[in-house]
Structure 1
């Protein structure tokens, strides 16, 4: 995939149709494509759960990007909020006995954009993941005017999950920049091909300005 002809927003929020859609690999894949196209970019993990003192998702990004760990990774600018329990940020923060600092996240994004020009922000789970009580990931995206990349796949049920996510983005007034189809989960050829075609046709009719990208199995 050649990204030279794509005009990327300076900040993009990468979310998925569910927890294991392949967001980390998609984020690293896009970042590598941008680097290969001569575009300066860095990735950020919105909230990392299930880790201590490091972000395993940032590690995946860097391996795919081929950069190794960056100074901003060691300073936790790229992963400003890390919680130990693998759960929603809301629950993980309560288990760790501290509040999620959303200002720290947005300030980190500002700093990364100032230095690199482009920031790919990988979310935690999907759009409706609780951050603080009833305050959800999609609320943060709307408040910070972050266009979205939605990662989907060909598993049974993905059409339903994809259309629900697209509807939620539209209702929230969030721009859909692209849908990435992650081919890693392609097991049933009939279902996968139908899923691809259905999502492409849906985008053509309802989100004609959004890109449709297919990511190889990584």
Structure 2
């Protein structure tokens, strides 16, 4: 009898030790897992940096979709200067506008594709409808027709006056992006647009004699 009792107690003790070890192991793994999750990701941060759609918001999309056709019209205006302007400074300004805004269009197009958003087609505004005159600073069809018909000093004056208006619209759009956007790259471009185009507005007003 004594032998059976001792054997039974030994078996129970072994089971208790084994159970304690298993529970300790499970508790340790659970604690490490919780700590790992808490330190590696904030609540709601499911997208990895660099993944398509990460680190941007609807304002970033609206900025790119609006600024692409806005830039496209500026390029159309600038391309007219080479054969129509009489001022070398106007021609130089137009060339700088082309050099700056062409690459920005390509960059913003890449963003929209990465974000799975619609890329505006030439001749369409940020709402996706033909005709872009409703956007801030955009020229009407009548404005563009008159500019195409102008030459010499008349062209210079029309071009500078219209481009000042156009640049002001771009600065307004870029300022909104700086305030409300999320994408670091888009906000950086917006900041560059504000700086560069404000400087060009000042330069154009000087050429017009209105500064």
Higher helix share: 2
Same-fold call, TM cutoff 0.5: no
What is the TM-score when the length of structure 2 is the normalising length? Answer: 0.27
What is the TM-score when the length of structure 1 is the normalising length? Answer: 0.27
Higher strand share: 1
